[in-house]
Structure 1
Amino acid sequence: MTSTTGDFAAVDPRTNEQGAHAAIDRADVIEIARRGAVGLALASIAGLAMGAREGVLSMAVHAAGIPLALLAVVALGVPSLFVLLALADAPLDPRSTAAAAARGIGASGLVLAGLAPAIALFVVTSESTDAAALTTRAGLALAGVVGLGHVLREIVRALGDADLRTRAIAIGGLAGFAVFATALATRVWGALLPVLLGGAS
């Protein structure tokens, strides 16, 4: 009985390494998306509470309006912030920037969901719609500050040992982003949330 031997091409170790990196990248993307989606869902809970005074339609309007403002900030503000940081040679990549944004959304959503029972109580039981609007504004402001704080802290931490010039430009960019995010979220919520106008539809 004869045996034959063939030449088997050795597997390039770089192929395995690239496959491992691709798997890690996919896992990171999934985790970032999951964190952001959970944050948006939690924020919607507060929207349901804000619209509880006027019924199901109002609850749906507010539940959609709350996360839309967060999405607007991420979609319009975060890419510009990343470009500015890249021009300053900041040691950040798109994945870490997206992760910081997702953590911010998650933190804001968690705060809003935690405040939802109190918001619902004030919105439903307040004799004046102005009191309901004031309570809603306070909850949104607190959630915005907490979420924005998470984003800024994550990015500052990622700067690590960057040189003074890079850190100065980055901090200036972060300050501008904070102002932009606050103005945009306020604008979107003011346009989409009837409760902030002293009445719900």
Structure 2
Amino acid sequence: TSVGSTALAVSAPNDQINLSNRIGNLVGGSARFLTHLYAFYGDVTLGYKELLFVHGSVRNDNTSILNQGNRSFVYPGVDASLVFSNAIPALRDASFLDYGKIRGGYTVSGAGFPFGSIPSFTANGNIVSRNPIIPENTRSAEAGIELSFLKHRLTAGATYYNQHSINQTIQTTIPYSTGYQSLTLNAGEVQNQGVEADLSIT
């Protein structure tokens, strides 16, 4: 719940606010914004002989700030890793490699548009939405490798990631001849990708 109030050109009847340089008559207002959000979440992790690990999750969000047909959205995720230094017989007793693991994952996350806070989009008489606002959606994928050498004195790792966000809620100005000042719609799209690497010596 978000509650706000405003006052302009008023000498307040208490010591908390005193606009002694006011000009004009009292102009005031208040607003109260109430939203509801509830979610269901499930998570499971499976392992096989300390070699292979698989993890999965799913979440269902339900929010009151979206159109009735779009208030419920589900986003899953899955990731897995393989300790190949133990899985491959030729590497188990290798003197040059202490530990080796490959991993990968894919997740989807969703979010309703911000409401009643800063930054936010709050529907009023000056804002129009061309279509019902739908949840924002971000899809992330990554793959990586971890290595350890010299009795774990030297460790190295690398990760490739790709993140794609779509249906971001944005606001754009429109001609006043329409009777409104701005239009809120799902049009934002951002994609990030790159490689991260690390090296540690002890």
Q: TM-score, normalised by structure 2?
A: 0.28
Structure having the larger proportion of residues in helix: 1
Bigger relative contact order (CA 8 A; separation at least 6): 1
Q: TM-score, normalised by structure 1?
A: 0.28
Instruction: Select the structure of larger CA radius of gyration.
Output: 2
